């Protein structure tokens, strides 16, 4: 028995370091901390698993200590399920995205979200001030064919009819549809052009606010500013928030490109791009939801207080969903 014990001890001393490394990786994986594993550690898992299998085969062949064989059998079984086990289904991945990945990505870009929102608001205020100063500025922001009479020369009655009588709101409905399409395009471009060191994304966010500010400058002098705000915000809270988040994702990528910090530029862009992609996928979902609100709520709800109530409810929902602390899955 003594030679067997001696061989088992030597065999273990030569290989135990790799077994312990594999065991540590498995412990972290089974504790649902797989996201903490580095790329090198993930690549090393199958290599260490095959090494453990080789050790087990050798231990059985030379009839080493049964406790050692039992340990290796347990280790190899755990590694097998880690390397070849059933992966999460599409539904599980979608649920994880909704419950964890999307809110986490949005919270990560909170600084960029503030900047993107400020740029859009600056565009609104700029256009409003310019149009109120001189009506000629209106057509620099809104094409005449798109305004369809809803310009600084429009009467109060025609403007009110568009807000509260759906049967008389074809022109304003066309403007709303155009605005939705425009916002969707801005969202995609703001994210895609983030790679150009933030500047194109910042301009798009500012430019997107100009059109909205110009329209407010038409309705406010007629005492319809609050009514127009309810009409646009019933779906605009979700829609404009989606644009802001998409712009924030683009700014995050551009900032990582310009100022990678202690990381390499490639690593910084890869990390920002991965996070930004999660934000962007969520922004598309928000735009789809905004489209449903635009198609139904805008036509069916003509009460200004109710429109604001819906806008406030959707705003509260998105804030609570994104910025509450979600549990780690």
Is there a domain that residue 329 lies in? no
Task: From 86, 105, 121, give the residue that closes a domain.
Answer: 86
Is there a domain that residue 328 lies in? no
Return the pLDDT at 89: 67
Asked if 20 and 65 sit in the same domain, the reply is yes
- Residue 212 class from Cβ within 10 Å (0-12 exposed, 13-18 middle, 19+ buried)? buried
Asked if 169 and 285 sit in the same domain, the reply is yes
Contact criterion met (CB below 8 Å) for 216 and 124: yes
Encode pLDDT of 184-237 as tens digits: 888 888 888 877 778 888 998 999 899 899 999 999 999 999 999 998 898 889
Asked if 59 and 111 sit in the same domain, the reply is no
Asked if 288 and 216 sit in the same domain, the reply is yes
Q: Is the pLDDT of residue 118 over 90?
A: yes
Is there a domain that residue 59 lies in? yes
- Measuring CA to CA, how many Å separate 207 from each of 94, 116, 252? 34, 12, 19
Q: At what angle do helices 304-323 and 265-300 cross, to 10 degrees?
A: 150
Domain hosting residue 48, numbered range: 2-86
Spatial CA neighbour of 284 closest among 254, 312, 257, 249:
249
Asked if 61 and 113 sit in the same domain, the reply is no
Asked if 6 and 142 sit in the same domain, the reply is no
Encode pLDDT of 137-170 as tens digits: 998 888 776 776 778 888 888 888 878 875 444 5
- Confidence grade of residue 75 (pLDDT, cut at 50, 70, 90): confident
Mean pLDDT estimate for the chain: 83
Asked if 99 and 81 sit in the same domain, the reply is no
Task: From 86, 108, 135, give the residue that closes a domain.
Answer: 86
Can you tell me the mean pLDDT for 167-191?
A: 69
Task: From 58, 86, 114, give the residue that closes a domain.
Answer: 86
Encode pLDDT of 224-275 as tens digits: 999 999 988 988 899 999 999 999 999 999 998 888 888 888 888 888 888 9
Asked if 222 and 174 sit in the same domain, the reply is yes
Return the pLDDT at 327: 46
User: What's the total number of domains in the chain?
Assistant: 2
Asked if 25 and 154 sit in the same domain, the reply is no
């Amino acid at each position: 028995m003594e030679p067997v014990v001696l061989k088992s001890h030597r065999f273990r001393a030569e290989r135990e370091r790799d077994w312990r490394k594999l065991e540590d990786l498995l412990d972290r994986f089974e504790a649902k901390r797989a996201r903490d594993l580095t790329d090198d550690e993930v690549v090393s898992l199958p290599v260490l698993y095959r090494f453990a299998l080789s050790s087990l085969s050798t231990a059985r062949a030379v009839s080493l200590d049964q406790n050692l064989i039992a340990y290796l059998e347990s280790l190899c079984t755990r590694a097998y399920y880690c390397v070849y086990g059933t992966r999460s289904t599409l539904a599980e991945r979608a649920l994880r995205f909704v419950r964890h990945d999307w809110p986490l990505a949005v919270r990560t870009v909170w600084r960029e979200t503030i900047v993107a929102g400020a740029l859009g608001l600056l565009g609104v205020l700029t256009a409003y001030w310019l149009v109120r100063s001189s009506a000629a500025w209106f057509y620099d922001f809104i094409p005449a064919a798109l305004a369809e009479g809803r310009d600084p020369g429009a009467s109060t009655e025609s403007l009110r009819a568009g807000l509260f009588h759906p049967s008389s709101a074809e022109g304003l409905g066309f403007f709303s549809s155009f605005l939705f399409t425009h916002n969707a395009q801005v969202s995609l471009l703001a994210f895609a052009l983030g790679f150009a060191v933030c500047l194109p994304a910042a301009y798009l966010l500012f430019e997107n606010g100009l059109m909205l500010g110009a329209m407010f400058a038409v309705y406010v002098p007629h005492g319809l500013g609050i009514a127009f705000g309810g009409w646009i915000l019933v779906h605009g809270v979700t829609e404009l928030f989606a644009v802001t988040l998409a712009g924030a994702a683009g700014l995050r990528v551009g900032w990582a490109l310009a100022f990678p910090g202690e990381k390499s530029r490639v690593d910084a862009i890869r990390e920002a791009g991965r996070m930004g992609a999660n934000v962007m996928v969520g922004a598309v979902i928000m735009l789809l939801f905004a489209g449903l609100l635009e198609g139904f709520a805008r036509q069916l709800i003509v009460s200004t207080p109710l429109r604001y109530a819906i806008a406030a409810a959707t705003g509260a929902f998105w804030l609570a969903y994104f910025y509450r602390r979600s549990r780690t899955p």
